[in-house]
Structure 1
């Protein structure tokens, strides 16, 4: 049972994994929604800056040492990278910040996609915003419409920046098995960040297992939101999720996070929130132990 003492549960409760030579707790924090109120990337109000900074600092207090961000996570008045810099710099040695490049947004918020020769500028922008001289992990984010395209030129450009010392480790995001293999032929890949959660199709499970066999971290996004994507969860939880939640005195969100963590020791969670209470619940989900019967129920 989840108890009222869940606020004392530390992110280390779910164990650790290595992104290359960087050890992280498997419960991390995603910053996509942090810059604003409401759905990510909406042209709405910016979020409360002070509250966002408090949430980031509280995450560190709860043992979170893996933060996922991007230079294109911004609202009219806030950017995730600036919030991280303000809240967490000077950075401790055990803090790992993962960012992603490929997509970008112009000042009006319109989306653009970088050519290979534009990726250095995106990497340097992340460095400036975060106040760092190198990036721990950089994921090449693939457009939804390009998951069958070659990634050799883009990934090769990032591999050159890795050799130059601007990037420590490389990953792939929204990728396919074929693209992953293509990237691995160019440089080591330490993580794959793809959409994944309860109800994912068989090919998503297969890629997760493939990553585990190769020692590559698998980092689900939209594990809570599902088809709601950037807008957040937009559909009611199914009876299976609600049943398991009742069994443990937990929330449906905690069950969804725990389910992903049960898919393998190489699976990392990066739930994001601007709510301190939700942050505490998300971290506490790492302590939720699901039974074989419950896992089967959720898989069905």
Structure 2
């Protein structure tokens, strides 16, 4: 039988997890979150090699930000990818680097700061247009919260993002750490994707997941396996996940990622790592088959109240 063209990259490599849609483009459902590349700051060649390995594995959706490593990660992406790779690069704005601080970020929510952040991303990535830029809201945790003049109405922010799209500097607008009310208010602007904390154990946003499906908006969860933040459960510690991993002869992390892919067809994953073996394992999760009994056992795991954990 002929191979579905969407299931492979333009270079003929199977897309891990199959094909998904983001901002009108076909991409691999298992992508790559580049934040952890800053751990390779002392070995730039290894960082570039890891990104090249991602392309070899069929990944063509990479998530980044200028504030990852204070520009280092964007510079590595610029070096690693060329036009022929056809990698969809997604960046984000809403915070700026703050080197030396306890949290090396500072809020950058004001419209003029959003514009400056887009310009910094363009320069660092060496692009004339960033295909998708996510507006990172600071309404919910963990991490930074907006205070004082950093508390900005989403409509004012979207006016700037829409202007940048009209100018051709960004191709599409996404949202990150957004509330349900914020998403509904943003819909008229045209939203390509939503990045919220979401996993098997943290399904607070199920209604938003359904809304995104109805609006053909990609759902791109961060913390797909939980987090080291206090109060956030880890998917890999869940007994049902560990039992499934033993039964399927795979890792608990692969089970957690595979469940997300099976849970809804508009889910796109961006697990991150600085290790080639871990990258290969994350990619292989896209091929993991969960039988009905395993899926039922995982679906029965109760969701933890994430918003209470975040405070």
Give TM-score, length-normalised by structure 2. 0.82
> What is the aligned partner in structure 2 of residue 21 from structure 1?
24
Measure the CA separation in 1 of the matches of 2:227 and 2:59. Answer: 26
Query: Which residue number in structure 1 is paired with residue 166 of structure 2?
Result: 163
The 3-state SS of whatever aligns with 1:206 is helix
Moved more, 249-258 or 206-215: 206-215
Partner of 1:190: 192
Flag as ranges the 4+ runs of structure 1 deviating above 4 A: 232-236
Say if 2:245 and 2:255, in contact at 8 Å, map to a contact too.
Answer: yes
Q: Is the 8 A contact 2:197 2:223 kept in 1?
A: yes
1:131 alignment counterpart: 126
SS at match of 1:79: helix
Equivalent residue, structure 2, for 1:80: 73
Whether 2:143 is the aligned partner of 1:112: answer no
Partner of 1:42: none
Separation in 1, partners of 2:247, 2:98: 47
| In the alignment, structure 1 residue 152 sits paired with structure 2 residue 155 | yes
Please state how far the C-alpha of 1:48 moved relative to its aligned partner: 2.6
Distance 1:132 1:93 in 2: 14
Partner Cα distance (1:113, 1:11) in 2: 39
How many aligned positions are there? 275
Question: Structure 1: where are the runs of 5+ without partners?
Answer: 1-9, 38-45
Report the alpha carbon displacement of residue 66 of structure 1 after superposing the two structures with TM.
0.1
Residue 56, structure 1, aligned to residue 61, structure 2: no
Q: Deviations over 1:117-162 (max 9, x none)?
A: 221110010000001000000000011246x973111111111100
How do residues 83-102 of structure 1 correspond to structure 2 at under 5 angstroms? 83-88=76-81, 90-92=82-84, 94-102=86-94
Unmatched segments (≥5 aa) in structure 2:
1-12, 302-311
Once the two structures are TM-superposed, the CA of residue 233 in structure 1 deviates from its matched residue by: 8.6
The TM-score with structure 1 as length reference comes to 0.85
Aligned counterpart, 1:30 = 33
Structure-1 residue corresponding to 2:206: 205
